[in-house]
Amino acid sequence: MAQEKKLFRETALYPIIFMVIITVIFVGLLSLFYNSEKSRIDDNQEILYYRQILEIFNDKIAEVDFYEIQDDQVLEFKDKYLMDFELTSEKGLRRYFKVVDNGLVLGYCFDIIGAGLWGTMKAVVGFEPNLETLIDFNVYEQVETPGLGGRIAEPADKLNLRADLKGTRFLDSGKITNYKLISESSSPDKSNEIRQITGATITSSSFLKMLNQEMSILIPLFQEEMAKGE
């Protein structure tokens, strides 16, 4: 008796080919959507980047509340208050900004990069003109654990680590302050004591390590630029 011929959709090969086709279709659609929106995504990332720099100097510029401005105003204020420069470091070109208001230098902001717990961490850090006082910082890229290390991007009213760093003396007689982490539930007794993020000791120490290592490289380069005339 002749063996009954199976339909292709009843073979073991059919679901494999079906899944491959479906995967190709959805990957193609996602790629098409991403490429069509890429310029908008890049624009939004640029706006967020400059907004976070401006927010660091919010208390220095009374004319504007940078926490309240609309996205379409960010680039306008960036052109008004930020002057973009580069330093050549062992890690390549590094950006920094001179923050000015009516010709008065309010401070400088440096773009720093380092390793967090799970990947790269990037931040912008603002300083007084003499670099002795740390004004504030914003972490604009990180892949830390949500709810734990991911809190490193929270504002000062929610993050003790940021609140403790704001306004601290970063340079003392030309030397970078040796910050020490303490429990988040503790009260700092010394100016160099910083409350860590609960459950995220590695992220907390990684940020301080990144801050100190990066600025130990960038400050001498910056000072060289100042000596030559920016």
* Mean pLDDT of the 75-89 span: 95
pLDDT at 229: 73
pLDDT at 34: 66
Q: Find all residues with CB under 8 Å of 202, minimum gap 6, and list them.
A: 116, 117, 149
Predicted TM-score (pTM) of this structure: 0.82
Q: Find all residues with CB under 8 Å of 80, minimum gap 6, and list them.
A: none
Q: Per-residue pLDDT tens for 213-229?
A: 999 999 999 999 888 87
Confidence grade of residue 43 (pLDDT, cut at 50, 70, 90):
confident
pLDDT at 79: 96
Q: Find all residues with CB under 8 Å of 72, minimum gap 6, and list them.
A: none
Supply 35's token pair: 């490429």
